[in-house]
């Protein structure tokens, strides 16, 4: 299922882009849709951006929960020094 986390995390990645942003693929995917919607002045793509932003927020929250259960204090410390 695209919008669920069913597998057990194999590790906590904290280097590279992950040292600043916990969910970079969600952020940059959304920014791409936003950029296209603005450049094309397409209100439907903007609505899609809003809907997907809400879905990605829920998805990231679920992922955070799974990772915090698996990595406990290590993930808590990681969350304190990163954004979304």
Q: Phi and psi of 23, rounded to 5°?
A: -130, 65
pTM metric for this prediction: 0.80
* Model confidence at 2: pLDDT above 60: no
The Cα–Cα gap between 35 and 45 comes to: 10
User: Across residues 5-29, what is the average pLDDT?
Assistant: 88
pLDDT for 6 equals 60
Q: pLDDT for 42-54, tens place per residue?
A: 999 999 999 999 9
Tokens of 72: 């406990």
The Cα–Cα gap between 9 and 66 comes to: 8
* Model confidence at 83: pLDDT above 50: yes
* Model confidence at 3: pLDDT above 60: no
The Cα–Cα gap between 26 and 63 comes to: 12
């Amino acid at each position: 299922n695209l919008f669920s986390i069913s597998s057990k995390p194999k590790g906590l990645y904290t280097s590279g882009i992950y040292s600043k942003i916990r969910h970079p693929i969600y952020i940059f995917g959304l920014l791409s849709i936003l950029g296209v919607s603005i450049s094309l002045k397409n209100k439907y793509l903007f609505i899609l951006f809003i809907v997907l932003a809400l879905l990605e927020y829920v998805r990231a929250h679920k992922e955070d929960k799974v990772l915090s259960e698996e990595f406990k204090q290590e993930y808590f410390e990681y969350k304190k020094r990163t954004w979304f």
